[in-house]
Amino acid sequence: DSVINRIAAGEIIQRPSSALKELLENSLDAGSTSIKITVKDGGMKLLQIQDNGCGIRKEDLPVLAQRFTTSKISSFEDLQSLQTYGFRGEALASISYVSNLSVITKTKADECAWKATYEDGVLISKDGSPAAPKPCAGNDGTTIMAENLFYNTPARLSALRSSSEEYSRILDVVTKYAVHNPRVSFSCKKAGSPTPELSTPSASSVKDAIGITYGQTIAKALLHVQIPLPEEAPHAESMDVDEEKRWSADIYCTNPNYQAKKLVLLLFINHRLVESTRIRKAVEAVYVGILPKGMSPFIYVSLQIDPHAVDVNVHPTKREVHFLDEEIIIQRVSDAIHDALIDENE
Ligand code: ADP
Ligand code: MG
Q: Which of 24, 52, 66, 71 to mutate to test the pocket of ligand 1 (most atoms within 8 A of CB)?
A: 71
> With a 6 A CB cut-off, is 71 part of the ligand 1 pocket?
yes
In this predicted structure, what is the pLDDT of residue 7? 80
- Determine contact, residues 24/109, Cβ cutoff 8 Å: no
- Tell me how many helices (H) and strands (E) the chain has: 10, 14
**Is residue 116 classed as helix, strand or coil in its secondary structure?**
strand
The answer to whether residue 150 sits within a structural domain is yes
Strand partners, 272: 269
Q: Residue 316: is its pLDDT beyond 60?
A: no
Q: Residue 233: is its pLDDT beyond 60?
A: no
| d(C-alpha 225, C-alpha 206), whole Å | 12
The count of structural domains within the chain is 2
DSSP run (H or E) holding 345: helix 326-345
Domain boundary among 136, 162, 195: 195
Chain length of the chain: 346
Query: What is the distance of C-alpha 62 from the center of its chain?
Result: 25
Please tell me whether residues 36 and 96 are part of one structural domain.
yes
Q: Atom of ligand 1 at shortest distance to CA of 90? A: 6
Over pLDDT 70: what percentage of the chain? 88
Predicted complex ipTM:
0.99
CATH number at residue 43: 3.30.565.10
Q: Atom of ligand 1 at shortest distance to CA of 85? A: 2
Q: Residue 241: is its pLDDT beyond 60?
A: no
The closest residue, in CA terms, to atom 19 on ligand 1 is 26
**Residues 157-216: pLDDT tens digits?**
999 999 999 999 999 999 999 999 999 999 999 999 999 999 999 999 999 999 999 999
| d(C-alpha 255, C-alpha 98), whole Å | 44
Pairing state between β 298-305 and 264-269: parallel
Pairing state between β 247-254 and 264-269: unpaired
pTM summary value = 0.91
Pairing state between β 134-136 and 113-119: antiparallel
**Residues 95-154: pLDDT tens digits?**
999 999 999 999 999 999 999 999 999 999 988 888 999 999 999 999 999 999 999 999
Please tell me whether residues 173 and 93 are part of one structural domain.
yes
Residues spanned by the domain of 248: 215-345
Q: How far apart are the CA of 90 and the centre of ligand 2, in A?
A: 7
Please tell me whether residues 17 and 159 are part of one structural domain.
yes
Q: How many CB atoms lie within 10 A of CB 39?
A: 27
Please tell me whether residues 24 and 121 are part of one structural domain.
yes
Domain boundary among 125, 160, 195: 195
The answer to whether residue 61 sits within a structural domain is yes
